[in-house]
């Protein structure tokens, strides 16, 4: 019997299936899984540094009406309200926030879910910045947070400083570090920050 060739189909029997690169969805799923795995250990580490050893502040003012900080527990809400906080930007994908406590104290939350150890999207940053400014314009204090108050939340704060305080990227980075020394010192290198700064200059 003579073996039939695949040439009739326009391909050789020696042809191989193309190598498929990992999709962006698969990469995002892997990052999301990693964030879930390390969530409790890193939260415990942040809690140890901030609440037990008190090496880090749980939150810091970066402007008269803007605070950048870490994961707010239910028990933190009365203290936030006492600081005059009327609005919260929650950048955590992993945490919906103490919503019932916010309602009880008349605090409005803007939730922009962002996977830990990743950058927020440009659209989310733009929306969050306008949310912050709407409340600041009414002399209300806004609390911007992620899990540790170092990167996701600070990215939003940096972009707000750039647009509404007229700061350059380096100056915004310096102001954030002066107010909260453990903020990621390379926020200005994030593509979303550069894109935001370029967008508002157009």
Please report the domains of the chain, with CATH numbers, ordered by start residue. 59-200 (3.90.190.10)
The residue with tokens 């605090």 is 107
Q: DSSP string covering 21-40, please?
A: PPPHHHHHHHHHHHHHHHHH
Q: Which helix (H) or strand (E) holds 89?
A: strand 85-92
Q: What angle do CA 100, 104, 108 make, to 5 degrees?
A: 75
pLDDT score of 88: 99
pLDDT score of 134: 99
pLDDT score of 114: 95
pLDDT score of 202: 84
Distances (CA, A) of 195 to 62, 82, 184: 22, 36, 18
Both tokens of residue 36?
């879930």
Q: Which of 92, 126, 146, 159 is catalytic?
A: 146
pLDDT score of 28: 72
Model confidence, pTM: 0.81
On whether the CB atoms of residues 150 and 56 are closer than 8 A, the answer is no
Nearest to 81 by CA among 50, 61, 106: 106
The stretches in the chain having pLDDT less than 70 are: 1-23, 27, 32-38, 40
Q: Examine the residue annotation and report whether 92 is marked as an active-site residue of this protein.
A: no
Q: d(Cα 3, Cα 30) in Å, to the nearest integer?
A: 44
């Amino acid at each position: 019997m003579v073996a039939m060739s695949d040439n009739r189909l326009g391909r050789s029997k020696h042809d191989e299936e193309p190598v498929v690169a990992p999709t962006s969805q698969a990469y995002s799923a892997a990052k999301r899984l990693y964030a879930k795995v390390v969530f409790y250990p890193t939260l415990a580490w942040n809690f140890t540094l901030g609440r037990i050893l008190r090496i880090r502040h749980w939150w810091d003012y970066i402007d008269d009406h803007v605070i950048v900080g870490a994961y707010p527990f239910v028990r933190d809400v009365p203290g936030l309200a006492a600081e005059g906080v009327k609005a919260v930007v929650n950048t955590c994908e992993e945490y919906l926030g103490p919503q019932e406590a916010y309602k009880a104290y008349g605090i409005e939350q803007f939730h922009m879910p962002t996977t830990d150890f990743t950058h927020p999207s440009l659209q989310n940053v733009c929306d969050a910045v306008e949310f912050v400014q709407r409340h600041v314009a009414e002399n209300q204090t806004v609390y911007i947070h992620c899990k540790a108050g170092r990167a996701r939340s600070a990215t939003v704060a940096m972009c707000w400083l750039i647009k509404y305080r007229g700061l350059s990227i380096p100056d915004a980075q310096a102001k954030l570090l002066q107010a909260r020394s453990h903020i990621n010192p390379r926020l200005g290198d994030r593509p979303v920050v550069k894109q935001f700064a370029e967008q508002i200059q157009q």
